[in-house]
Structure formats: structure tokens, C-alpha cells
Amino acid sequence: MNNKTLYINGLFLAQKATGVQVVSYEMCQALHKLGWHVVCFMPDVNIEEGYNPNFEVVKLAGHKGHVWEQTTLRRHLKKIGSPLFINLFGLGVVGYKNQIVTVHDIAYSVNKEWFSFSYRTCYSLLLPILTRQAKLVLTVSEFSKREIIKEFSISSDKIFIFSPAPKSRPHTDTEADVDGKYVIAVSSMDPRKNFKTLVEAYKKRPDDGVKLIVVGGAAKIYGETNIHNTDDRIKFLGRVSDERLEALYRNASLYVCTSLYEGFGIPALEAMQYGCPVAVSDIEIFHEVLGEHAVYFNPTDTTDIAEKITIALSKKYDEIDRNTLIEHSKKYNMDFSAEKLSKKLETLL
């Protein structure tokens, strides 16, 4: 236990509780539980639904988004003596050397079609500067660490890995509200998630009565997905409540992910924590995170995707098999990751 203060970029609290925003929030919660006095600075807007912070939140009136980081936040940090500042989310403050930045992945650099022009330009210009100036760069996997070293030419010693964890959702009486067996895919409507290919692949499957349920919403930072679905077996639900998502995971026959690029891949672990089998893209990060506990396919080959989904559905998973998946998901624990990060932070303060 300690009573030192951690000043953290709370921009995530102004955005929908999904993906890296949730990772940032849960890390703040875990650091607070360890005894840190966590203070999150955010724009003067409402905290989005889905957050219930146990840490201190300070709203700073001024601009919003990345402009807020470079103006309002910069002035406030200088006013309070330029303390060590931690960016678990967002870019960080350009020119502010006493800070930690987080790079979950470099997807913006891999394919320009995956993100909007403004988002891609902002990150391309500012992230190389921020990673060079920062005292420490955080990331979420060995794969992302190698990508960062290659992209920004920074020392391996400057990068620290903390593993995200699947979000724990309490069991409720909420129904999945899907008739019959189904395969579930969970993600934002991001072009790199490759949903267009998944839809085309699923149309190639025999009509065995198993539906494909896609959960997730769109965001303006992403490029166009151009998904046209005319198959009654495939349903897009958009964003759903945590309670319904828990029910959907719990009752699914299979989780599938056709992503072309990931820095980590939390939804697969979320599915596993309910004993749900997973079939995923044969890409480096999934082998690092999921190991032998997944069925792999070529994410650009619709025939291979369709065949592997059918193979995975035909497997008989008993209680022992499902418990193995659950136990693997438990290896990724936010409290453990927070303890590792806490020890590293102690050396910087």
C-alpha cells in the first residue's frame, strides 16, 4: 500500500465504455485498489455511461478530445508543477517529457484505409514524437512491443508490457434473445476486423440453422466497412448492454474473429471465460494470447473461414474442455497487471 498520487489522462471517461477505454478504466480502478491516489483529468463533459470510478476525477474546462490534451491539459499540468503524467489512453501532451504514453498497437500505420484521414494524420505526426520524448512507453503484448520498436526505433528497455484482462460481467437473468444455436462475433465496426469477409464466408456455410450474431457499433475514426448482408442467418445487433453481452457469450456455441491485425484481442478471452470455444485469424498476436486453445483460419480466405467454423462447431466440448478455456482466460488478470505496473511506477516517482 502507498499514498502517492498518480495523475492520469482521463479522456477515456468522455468516450463510450468499450475496447481500450475499458482497459484504461479498469487499470485506474485496480491501481486505486492498490492504494494509489489516482487522479484522472478529463474535459468538462459528462462521464459516459458504463463507468463508475472509485478514483478521483477532475474536470478541466476548455476544449475536447486531442485539442484538449494539447491545450487545457498542458496548461493545468504546468500549473501543478509538471508531475509525472500517465496516458493509458489518448495521445499524451506533445513536448511534455515527464510522462508515460501507451501504444496498444500501430494499426493506423499498417493500412491507411482502416482509419479516417484526420485520425491517421494525427497519430502519424504525433505518436513518433511522443514515444521518443516519454519516460516510458506502455504496451499490451510482446507482439506490439516488437511493432513499436520497429516503427519508432526506440529501445526495448523503454517499453513496459502490461496485459489487459477480459472484463468480468456479473451473471444476470438477462436473456440472449436469440433463438437456436449461434456463433458470436464481438467488435467495433472497424475495417481491420474484416467483417465483410466474415459475412461472405458465413454465406458459404451449409444452412445448418446456426446463426451468426455480430455485436458492436461504428465509430467516426474508422474507415468504411461497406458490409451488405442479405442472409437471414446473419444478424447485426449493434451495441448491447453488458448484461445482454454476458448472456450472448454464455449461450454461444462459438466465438469467431476474422481480424487482420490486433495488438491484443480481449473479446476472445471474454468468450473463453464463459467456456465458449473460439475460432480466430491465424495471426501472430492470437498465437501469443490464445496459444493452443483456439481454432485458426486464414482471415483472407472465405472458404477456409467457413470450413474452420464448421469444424469448430462439430467438436464436442465437454465440461473439462470448457473449464480449460475458462482457466486459460484467468491467466489474464487486471489486478496482477496493476501490481506489475505499480512496481514499475514506484521506480519512476
Task: Return the exposure string of 139-177: e unless at least 16 CB atoms fall within 10 Å of the residue's CB, then b.
Answer: bbbebbbebbbeebebeeeebbebbbbbbebeeeebebe
- The stretch 68-85 carries a mean pLDDT of 96
Q: What is the CA radius of gyration of the chain?
A: 21
Average model confidence (pLDDT) across the chain? 91
Could you tell me if residue 44 is inside a domain? yes
Instruction: Note whether 109 and 148 are same-domain residues.
Output: yes
Instruction: Note whether 155 and 188 are same-domain residues.
Output: no
Quote the CA–CA distance of 200 and 196 in Å, as a whole number: 6
Quote the CA–CA distance of 58 and 76 in Å, as a whole number: 11
Instruction: Note whether 15 and 105 are same-domain residues.
Output: yes
Instruction: Note whether 130 and 223 are same-domain residues.
Output: no
| C-alpha cell recorded at residue 249 | 457469450
Give the model confidence (pLDDT) of 235-276 as tens digits.
999 889 888 999 999 999 999 999 999 999 999 999 999 999
Question: Which CATH number belongs to the domain containing residue 101 in this structure?
Answer: 3.40.50.2000
- Residue the block writes with cell 475499458: 22
- Residue 135's pLDDT is 96
pTM of the predicted model as reported, rounded to 2 decimal places: 0.90
Instruction: Note whether 308 and 339 are same-domain residues.
Output: no
Distances (CA, A) of 27 to 24, 126, 267: 5, 24, 17
Give the model confidence (pLDDT) of 305-322 as tens digits.
999 999 999 988 888 899
Instruction: Note whether 136 and 193 are same-domain residues.
Output: no
**Residue 222 above 60 pLDDT?**
no
Total domains, the chain: 2
Instruction: Note whether 325 and 337 are same-domain residues.
Output: no
Could you tell me if residue 312 is inside a domain? yes
Quote the CA–CA distance of 55 and 78 in Å, as a whole number: 22
Beta strands in the chain (DSSP E): 5-9, 37-43, 56-60, 85-86, 99-102, 136-139, 159-161, 182-186, 211-215, 234-238, 254-257, 278-281, 295-297
**Residue 221 above 80 pLDDT?**
no
Instruction: Note whether 338 and 279 are same-domain residues.
Output: no
Instruction: Note whether 157 and 50 are same-domain residues.
Output: yes
Task: Return the exposure string of 31-51: e unless at least 16 CB atoms fall within 10 Å of the residue's CB, then b.
Answer: bbebebebbbbbbeeebeeeb
Instruction: Note whether 53 and 121 are same-domain residues.
Output: yes
How confident is residue 176, by pLDDT bands cut at 50, 70 and 90? confident
Give the residue numbers spanning the domain of 149.
Answer: 5-165+333-346
Could you tell me if residue 173 is inside a domain? no
